[in-house]
């Protein structure tokens, strides 16, 4: 098996970042779950839904960065493969959210590069701390993402089945990733770490809704 140099890894990381941040650079492997739905929204509803979907898109950018950072520093090959596979599956979410934003004549968050950089660093640090903590970090991240998704589903206009179908499938996938991480040996993170993650998540959601 080929051994990649440090330069190779940096180039690969840069390519991953571009694919996560540049609109249209990522395509879904699975069919969009909202493909068969047809929804017409009032202007005020469309604006609110666009804000929610922008938050969810940024959350998926952060998830990509976390998995990329963890894969780079993971110690065990099987854990590294788990992180890489999870990142591939999350690409579907990234593409689905971007498609919905285009339909709503809106845009992705201008702050995504900032959140990607921060999340990549957090993921790399989690990997350095050890694989059981890295997997625990994934489980806690996915738990918090699921809570956000459930809240957004409740906020959707009743007749917006397109957005609802996307968020429901995303939530199902996030819970699966959480369970996979726990079954692979992930441990509960210390309370201060969980609180800090929640605080950062709140800042991200509030800013990404508007910017």
- Asked if the structure places residue 78 within a domain, the reply is yes
User: Which range among 27-36, 158-167, 189-198 has the greatest average pLDDT?
Assistant: 158-167
- Asked if the structure places residue 3 within a domain, the reply is no
68 marked among binding-site residues = no
3-class SS of residue 133:
helix
Average pLDDT value for residue range 155-176 = 89
pLDDT at position 66 is 80
* Average confidence score pLDDT of the chain: 79
Whether 134 contacts 188, CB under 8 Å: no
In degrees, rounded to 5, the angle at the alpha carbon of residue 105 between the alpha carbons of residues 55 and 96 is 50
pTM: 0.80
- Counted domains in the chain: 1
- Asked if the structure places residue 182 within a domain, the reply is yes
Cα(144)–Cα(152) distance, rounded to whole angstroms?
A: 13
Cα(102)–Cα(115) distance, rounded to whole angstroms?
A: 21
pLDDT at position 54 is 93
Least trusted range by pLDDT, from 9-13, 18-22, 79-83, 177-181: 9-13
142 marked among binding-site residues = yes
Tokens of 105: 């004549």
Question: Residue 128 belongs to what domain range?
Answer: 41-210
- Asked if the structure places residue 6 within a domain, the reply is no
CATH number for the domain that contains residue 154: 1.20.1260.10
161 marked among binding-site residues = no
174 marked among binding-site residues = yes
Average pLDDT value for residue range 110-123 = 85
- Asked if the structure places residue 61 within a domain, the reply is yes
Q: Transcribe 58-124 into DSSP letters.
A: HHHHHHHHHHHHHHHH-SSHHHHHHHHHHHHHHHHHHHHHHHHHHHTT----TTHHHHHHHHHHHHH
pLDDT at position 14 is 56
Q: Label residue 153 by pLDDT band (50, 70, 90).
A: very high
- Asked if the structure places residue 2 within a domain, the reply is no
Q: Is a pLDDT exceeding 50 seen at residue 190? A: yes
- Asked if the structure places residue 34 within a domain, the reply is no
48 marked among binding-site residues = no
90 marked among binding-site residues = yes
pLDDT at position 168 is 92
Q: Is a pLDDT exceeding 50 seen at residue 1? A: no
- Asked if the structure places residue 105 within a domain, the reply is yes
């Amino acid at each position: 098996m080929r051994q990649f140099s440090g330069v190779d890894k940096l180039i690969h990381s840069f390519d991953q970042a571009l694919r996560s941040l540049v609109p249209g650079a990522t395509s879904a492997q699975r069919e969009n779950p909202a493909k068969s739905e047809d929804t017409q929204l009032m202007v005020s509803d469309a604006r609110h839904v666009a804000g929610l979907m922008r938050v969810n898109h940024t959350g998926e950018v952060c998830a990509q960065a976390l998995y990329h950072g963890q894969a780079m520093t993971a110690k065990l090959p099987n854990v590294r493969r788990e992180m890489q596979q999870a990142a591939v599956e999350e690409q579907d979410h990234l593409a689905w959210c971007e498609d919905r934003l285009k339909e709503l004549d809106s845009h992705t968050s201008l702050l995504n590069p900032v959140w990607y950089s921060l999340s990549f660093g957090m993921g790399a640090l989690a990997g350095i701390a050890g694989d059981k903590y890295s997997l625990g970090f994934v489980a806690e991240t996915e738990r918090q993402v699921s809570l956000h998704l459930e809240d957004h589903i409740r906020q959707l206009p009743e007749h917006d089945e397109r957005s609802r179908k996307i968020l429901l499938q995303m939530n199902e996938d996030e819970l699966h990733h959480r369970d996979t991480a726990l079954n692979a040996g992930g441990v509960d993170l210390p309370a201060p770490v969980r609180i800090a993650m929640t605080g950062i998540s709140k800042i991200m959601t509030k800013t990404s809704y508007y910017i």
